[in-house]
Amino acid sequence: MKNILFALILGLSCSYVLAADEVPAHPYIEIVTTEGTIILELDGKQAPLTVGHILKLVDSGFYDGTIFHRVIPGFMAQAGGHTPDYKLKESDDTIPNESGNGMSNVRGTIAMARTGDPHSANSQFFINVGNNERLDPNKKGGSWGYTVFGFVIEGMDVVDKIATTTTGPAGPFGSDVPTVPIVIKKMSRYTFK
């Protein structure tokens, strides 16, 4: 049984690796929100599986109309998995954890949200508004971290505004939800003019 499971995992990993070969080294993403615009530079060299997955979702329009559903001042702003009426929206795929890629969860970086399963990242991401190195992998303890896959290059003031908005309970969440929904109007690839 262990050999079969290992073969399945290896097979899945290989399909991601092949797709990762086609991932651009440093693509740019524009996130147009109801609070302003954020420009990201993704790192396809350090996190090819994650960036390839995110680009697929961006190109399909997956993120358009989703919300920032969890914001905590001094910590992070999370989005990419819920509609304005708090319905869960997920892609069909999860991605292997790439948190050991040398990138750290410091202010201005973007990382994948996940459950307790380190390989459960789906579509949700968060932007660090503080230095959150505690979310990096613990090399001594061997624990997985949260995969950083890029950083904000314009619009950090917008992220800070989002992260300090008034919050409370809403939908299935007991706290940290913006009382006025912050919607991602459009998330698309970006080219500097």
Query: What digits encode the pLDDT tens for the residues 15-45?
Result: 444 355 689 999 999 999 999 999 999 999 9
Predicted local confidence at residue 21, as pLDDT:
67
CATH of residue 162's domain is 2.40.100.10
Q: What is the DSSP letter of 53?
A: H
CA 80 vs CA 17, 64, 124: distances in Å: 24, 9, 4
Q: How many domains does the chain have?
A: 1
For residue 184, what are the domain limits? Answer: 2-189
pLDDT for res 139: 72
**Cα–Cα nearest to 118, from 100, 92, 130, 140:** 100
Residue type, 60: S
pLDDT tens across 47-105, in order?
A: 999 999 999 999 999 999 999 999 999 999 999 999 999 999 999 899 999 999 999 99
**112, 87 contact by CB (below 8 A):** no
Instruction: List the one residue out of 158, 193, 160, 164 whose CA is nearest residue 179.
Output: 164
For the question of whether the overall pTM of this predicted structure is more than 0.75, the answer is yes
> Is the confidence at residue 158, as pLDDT, over 60?
yes
Nearest to 59 by CA among 150, 149, 171, 189: 189
Residue 48, both tokens: 């090819």
